[in-house]
Amino acid sequence: AQSVTQLDSQVPVFEEAPVELRCNYSSSVSVYLFWYVQYPNQGLQLLLKYLSGSTLVKGINGFEAEFNKSQTSFHLRKPSVHISDTAEYFCAVTPRAPGNQFYFGTGTSLTVIP
């Protein structure tokens, strides 16, 4: 079985400050990892994904995440946040086989303070 833990339900950060949103997962099989962003009253938009290769992946809007297999983590980072980054962020995993469902974390609400 797979599960995803996002320990921080809310993260307030000042504009232009760095941010890290934490994600840990548990799985009995190898997984692919994803971060999605959800702006208010909108759907889920893919930020970035880790399938294989370099453990540091870069996504849209200046975000990046690092896959750490030993710590089963996939933390999301941005060196300098903008007001427009205020949104809900979801970490998700899926087993490395086609057709499997995605397992989502409970989400982290990022609020950027001017």
Partner 1 sequence: EPEVTQTPSHQVTQMGQEVILRCVPISNHLYFYWYRQILGQKVEFLVSFYNNEISEKSEIFDDQFSVERPDGSNFTLKIRSTKLEDSAMYFCASIGAYEQYFGPGTRLTVT
Give the residues lining the site for partner 1 (CB under 8 A).
32, 34, 36, 41-46, 49, 51, 90, 92, 94, 96, 98-107
Alpha-carbon distance of 2 to 62, in angstroms, equals 28
Which is closer to partner 1, CB of 15 or CB of 100? Answer: 100
Q: How many residues does the chain have?
A: 114
Nearest Cα neighbor of 30 from 99, 95, 93, 89 is 95
Which is closer to partner 1, CB of 12 or CB of 79? Answer: 12
Nearest Cα neighbor of 72 from 19, 35, 33 is 33
Which is closer to partner 1, CB of 19 or CB of 36? Answer: 36
CA distance readout (Å), 82 to 12, 29, 94: 12, 36, 30
